[in-house]
C-alpha cells in the first residue's frame, strides 16, 4: 500500500515540493536583505538593551521597509494556502475513485476497503506533515528578524509559525476526505470542505484564541490617568506595549488604567492549544470517513 499511495499521490507531492521551492527562493532573496538591514541598523543590541527604547527611528525605518511586504505578501497566501493544499489533496482521495469507477478495482483486491483507506490516509497525512513543517520552517527563518521586533503572538504571525500551519493543512485535508466520501465528486467536495474550514479557522483566530488561557492584567502606569502620565514614559516601539514593556505582549483591552493582555511567553502553549483543536477536528473527520467506508454497503445507487 505504501507504493500504491505514493504512485497515486506523487503528482501532488511534486506540486507541493515546487510550491515549497518557490517559497524558499522568495524567502532567501527577501530574507537575506532583511537580515542585512537588521544587522546594519544594530537592532539586535538595542532590543537586548532596552526592548527598542532609544532606537525607535531605526526600528521604524526597518518596519517601513519590510513590514508591508511581510504582511501583504503573506497574509492572503498564508491564510488560504494551507486550506487549498489540504482540500486539493483530500478532495480527490476517495471521490476520484468513485468518479472514475476505479473503486471497483481498488476495493476488489485482497485489501479490505477500510484498511485501504486507513493506509492511504496514514501515508498522505505523513506527507502533509512534512510539507507543512517545511513551509513553516521556511517562513519562520524568513521572518526571524521581524519576529524579534513584533513577537509571535500577533495575528498574521502566530498563524504562519510553530505548529498551527501544519494543523490547518491536516484539518482541511480531513474535511475534504470526508466530503469526498459523502459527495462522491472531487471539486464539490473540495469546495464543501474549504468553506467550513475557513470559517472555523477565522472564528478560532478572532473569537477564541485570545481566551485560550486566562489573560493577565497590569496597571498602566503610563496611561492618561496613570501616576506617571503619558509624558514620563518613553515612546517605545510599536510592538512593545508601554504597560508591559516587553516585545510581543498582546494587548487585549484597556479599561481605564487596567490593561488585559496575553504575554509573549504564551506563544508555545497557544500553539499547542490551537494545533490541538485542529488535529482533533482532523482525527474526527478521518475517523468518520474510515467508519463510513466500512459501514456503507453501497456505492452504485
Partner 1 sequence: MTIDKGISKIPALRAEHLGRRYGKAWGLRDCTFDVPAGAVTALVGPNGAGKTTLLEMITGLLRPTEGQVLVFGETSRAETAAALARVGYVAQDHPLYRDFTVADMFRLGRAMNPGWDQQLAAGRMEALGIPLGRKVKRLSGGQRAQVSLSMALAKRAPLLVLDEPVASLDPVARTELMRDVTDVAAATNLTVLISSHVVAELERFCDWLIVLSRGRVQLAGPVGELLAAHRLLTVPRATPDGDLPEAAVHRSDENGRSLVVVRAGPDGPAPPRPGWQDGPVSFEQLVLAYLQRPAAQTTEDNPAPAARRPGPSTKEATR
Q: Where do contacts with partner 1 occur on this chain (CB under 8 A)?
A: 1-4, 7-8, 11, 100-105, 107-114, 116, 294, 297-301
Cβ-count burial 26-62 (b if 16+ within 10 Å, e if not): ebeeebeebeebbeebebeebbeeebbbebbebbeeb
What's the sign of the alpha-carbon dihedral 248, 68, 57, 254?
negative
Report the residue number, 64 or 110, with the smaller CB distance to partner 1: 110
CB of 99 to partner 1, least distance (A): 11
Rounded CA gap, 85 and 167, in Å? Answer: 12
Report the residue number, 79 or 182, with the smaller CB distance to partner 1: 182
CB of 119 to partner 1, least distance (A): 10
CB of 22 to partner 1, least distance (A): 24
Rounded CA gap, 116 and 119, in Å? Answer: 5
Residue 51 makes CB contacts below 8 A (sequence gap 6+) with: 236, 237, 240, 245, 246, 247
CB of 121 to partner 1, least distance (A): 16
User: Got the DSSP string for 207-264?
Assistant: IIGGGSSPPEEEE-TTSTTSSSTGGGS----TTS-TTT--TT-EEEEEETTEEEEE-G
CB of 292 to partner 1, least distance (A): 13
Report the residue number, 61 or 114, with the smaller CB distance to partner 1: 114
| Cα atoms found within 13 Å of the Cα of residue 82, Cβ hemisphere only | 30
Report the residue number, 75 or 107, with the smaller CB distance to partner 1: 107
Report the residue number, 95 or 222, with the smaller CB distance to partner 1: 95
Phi and psi dihedrals of 244, rounded to 5? Answer: -100, -30
Report the residue number, 58 or 290, with the smaller CB distance to partner 1: 290
CB of 293 to partner 1, least distance (A): 10
Amino acid at each position: 500500500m505504501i507504493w500504491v499511495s505514493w504512485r497515486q499521490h506523487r503528482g501532488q507531492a511534486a506540486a507541493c515540493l515546487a510550491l515549497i521551492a518557490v517559497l524558499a527562493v522568495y524567502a532567501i532573496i527577501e530574507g537575506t536583505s532583511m537580515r542585512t538591514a537588521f544587522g546594519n541598523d544594530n537592532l539586535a543590541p538595542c532590543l537586548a538593551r532596552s526592548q527598542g527604547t532609544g532606537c525607535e527611528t531605526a526600528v521604524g525605518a526597518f518596519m517601513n521597509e519590510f513590514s508591508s511586504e511581510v504582511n501583504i505578501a503573506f497574509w492572503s497566501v498564508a491564510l488560504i494556502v494551507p486550506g487549498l493544499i489540504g482540500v486539493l489533496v483530500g478532495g480527490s482521495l476517495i471521490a476520484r475513485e468513485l468518479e472514475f469507477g476505479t473503486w471497483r478495482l481498488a476495493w476488489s483486491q485482497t485489501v479490505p476497503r477500510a484498511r485501504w483507506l486507513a493506509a492511504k490516509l496514514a501515508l498522505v497525512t505523513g506527507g502533509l506533515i512534512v510539507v507543512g513543517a517545511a513551509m513553516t520552517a521556511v517562513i519562520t527563518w524568513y521572518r526571524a528578524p521581524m519576529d524579534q521586533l513584533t513577537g509571535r503572538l500577533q495575528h498574521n504571525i502566530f498563524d504562519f509559525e510553530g505548529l498551527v500551519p501544519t494543523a490547518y493543512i491536516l484539518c482541511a485535508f480531513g474535511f475534504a476526505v470526508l466530503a469526498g466520501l459523502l459527495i462522491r465528486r472531487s471539486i464539490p467536495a473540495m469546495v464543501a470542505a474549504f468553506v467550513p474550514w475557513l470559517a472555523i479557522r477565522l472564528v478560532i483566530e478572532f473569537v477564541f484564541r485570545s481566551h485560550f488561557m486566562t489573560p493577565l492584567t497590569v496597571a498602566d502606569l503610563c496611561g492618561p490617568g496613570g501616576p506617571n502620565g503619558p509624558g514620563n514614559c518613553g515612546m517605545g516601539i510599536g510592538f512593545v506595549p508601554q504597560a508591559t514593556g516587553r516585545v510581543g505582549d498582546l494587548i487585549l483591552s484597556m479599561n481605564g488604567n487596567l490593561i488585559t493582555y496575553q504575554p509573549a511567553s504564551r506563544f508555545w502553549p497557544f500553539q499547542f492549544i490551537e494545533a490541538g483543536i485542529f488535529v482533533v477536528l482532523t482525527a474526527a473527520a478521518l475517523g468518520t470517513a474510515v467508519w463510513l467506508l466500512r459501514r456503507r454497503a453501497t456505492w452504485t445507487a
